[in-house]
Structure 1
Amino acid sequence: MKSFFIQRLEGLLLLGLGLMIFKLYVSGHLTKLIAPKMVPYALAALFAFLVISLLRMKKQKQGLHNCECESHREPSPAMKVLKYSLFFIPIILGFILTDFTLSGEVLAKRGMVQQQTPLVSSYDAGKHVNSEKISVTDDNYFEVLDDLLNNLDTIEGKEIELSGFIYREDSFKEKQMAIARLSMSCCVVDATLYGYMVNGNVKNMKTNDWYTITGTLKKGVYKGEAVPVIDLKESKKIKAPEEAYLYENVEIIQ
């Protein structure tokens, strides 16, 4: 009877994992936890969980009258609870949570990344800093950042426009903030924060709200490193995009 219950529980847990992945996929939340390139693997896992779950259910029905003659050491109740909690807790969270974005507290502990790894892409390096006005989009975000970091001595006074969410750290002054984006390579665990320091009248711009800003560039410092800084000229509050993460920056960094 105990084996019957355990097999049914394991089958139900695997079924729950499959249904959780399906729910996240159809609701559009799956790409808030994993990068789009990982979605096919998640769907393959969904199929595998459903198949194995059905096999476990079938096995327990067929094995009801089998004699369990082999003796083996049973794990303690505490170990059993821990074992199945590793499956049960993620399933519950996957169904009840509606906001999968990282909190401001977590982001503040991580800090912003500025210096990227060596450039390996064949894109036209330097083309953005030679423009009269630099317009940052999701597609060129890392190209622009790379150009600015490598041409800090030539960016003074150039105009830039970009969108992102407001980010602050405890060390920021009253007239300082950052406008940032999150990048994901594989899953939310490796999410990285990229952004630009902003100076100006930013007191009323609430942390985590999304804005499109325009300003002029200059060379500044963030945590002892030379970085591009934006002197704020104009700002407009916007709605957070459906795809809040930047994916696939492999064209610029590997």
Structure 2
Amino acid sequence: MKKFNLNELIWFLVLLTLSLYIFFMIYTGKIYILIHPKMKVYLIIGFIILFIFTIMQFPKIFTIPDRGGLKKNNLIFIFAVAMLMIAGNINVSSTYLEFKGVNLFPYYDDHEVKEKHNHETSIPSGIIELKDENFYCYLEDIQKNIDDYIGREVQVEGMVYAKKNMNNNSFIVTRLVMNCCAADSQYIGVTCTYYGGNVKTNTWVNIKGTVTKNTIKDSKGRDRVVPEVKVNSIEKIKEPNNLFIYQN
């Protein structure tokens, strides 16, 4: 009897496809749209283990198959691999932004207690530059200590988002921040006022202006004081390859 097990072949192909895809994601850096860079070492360990299982699976292809026919549970794993590949092509859009919302308020929990983070913020004197590596930390400190930064010049890179209820001269510059993985990501941003013309949603910009403050209502109808940038100039920039920034 010829030894060829179709079920084992399908399972081998699932493992091989998953192994190659994870390797591709790590090699190209695209994995960081799914997980925080601090998780890379665990992913590499997982990849090595998965690749070993893939090698061990190969000889099982040449075994006598079960009489039960094709295993339907293989479809579950094929579907899971397909979903992972789709997730790897995630992109920020206005629709996704509408769904996630933007965090404009200081970082408090439900009991109004400030969260503790494992970083210490030290914003140097001069122009405040909110870029990939410091956007989260700097914005958090400005939100918590608004009065200390009123009048300071600021430069912000991010994506423009304009809510439907905002006036024509207002918009939000947002970034998508990740704590551990894409599932816990959230948009953070700062409101801006600009009288030099309308700026389209989804446009990536580098804005320059002055820190001011504004009072807006949160989702519970409470007044919140938030930092706002009075924009002096706007420069359109290229959308970054990686749309995420990372919480330290």
Give the TM-score normalised by structure 2: 0.79
Q: How far, CA to CA, are the matches of 2:167 and 2:242 in structure 1?
A: 30
Contact map agreement 1:18 1:45 (CA 8 A) in 2 = no
Q: Secondary structure at the match of 1:115?
A: coil
Q: 1:115 and 1:75, CA in 2 relative to 1: closer, same or farther beyond 3 A?
A: farther
Runs of 5+ unmatched residues, structure 1: none
Q: How far, CA to CA, are the matches of 2:84 and 2:226 in structure 1?
A: 42
Aligned equivalent of 1:90: 83
Aligned equivalent of 1:29: 30
How much has 1:20 moved relative to structure 2?
0.9
Contact map agreement 2:136 2:177 (CA 8 A) in 1 = no
How much has 1:14 moved relative to structure 2?
0.7
The CA RMSD measured in Å over matched residues stands at 3.1
Q: How far, CA to CA, are the matches of 2:99 and 2:196 in structure 1?
A: 21
Q: Percent identity, aligned pairs only?
A: 24
Contact map agreement 1:217 1:230 (CA 8 A) in 2 = yes
Aligned equivalent of 1:226: 225
Aligned equivalent of 2:115: 118
Of 202, 210, 226, the match for 1:216: 210
Of 185, 189, 192, the match for 1:191: 185
Aligned equivalent of 1:150: 144
Runs of 5+ unmatched residues, structure 2: 108-113, 219-223
Contact map agreement 1:213 1:232 (CA 8 A) in 2 = yes
Q: 1:242 and 1:76, CA in 2 relative to 1: closer, same or farther beyond 3 A?
A: closer
Aligned counterparts, 1:65-144, within 5 A: 80=73, 82-90=75-83, 93=86, 99-113=89-103, 114-116=105-107, 117-120=114-117, 123=120, 131=125, 133-144=127-138
Matched, 1:174 2:168: yes
Q: Larger deviation: 4-13 or 134-143?
A: 134-143
Q: How far, CA to CA, are the matches of 1:19 and 1:124 in structure 2?
A: 39
Q: 1:149 and 1:47, CA in 2 relative to 1: closer, same or farther beyond 3 A?
A: same
Aligned residues: 235
Q: 1:7 and 1:189, CA in 2 relative to 1: closer, same or farther beyond 3 A?
A: same
Contact map agreement 2:11 2:74 (CA 8 A) in 1 = no
Q: 1:112 and 1:41, CA in 2 relative to 1: closer, same or farther beyond 3 A?
A: same
How much has 1:91 moved relative to structure 2?
5.9
Aligned equivalent of 2:110: none
Aligned equivalent of 1:239: 238
Aligned equivalent of 2:111: none
Q: Larger deviation: 106-115 or 218-227?
A: 218-227
How much has 1:152 moved relative to structure 2?
2.6
Q: How far, CA to CA, are the matches of 2:215 and 2:176 in structure 1?
A: 21
Q: Secondary structure at the match of 1:193?
A: strand
How much has 1:222 moved relative to structure 2?
4.0
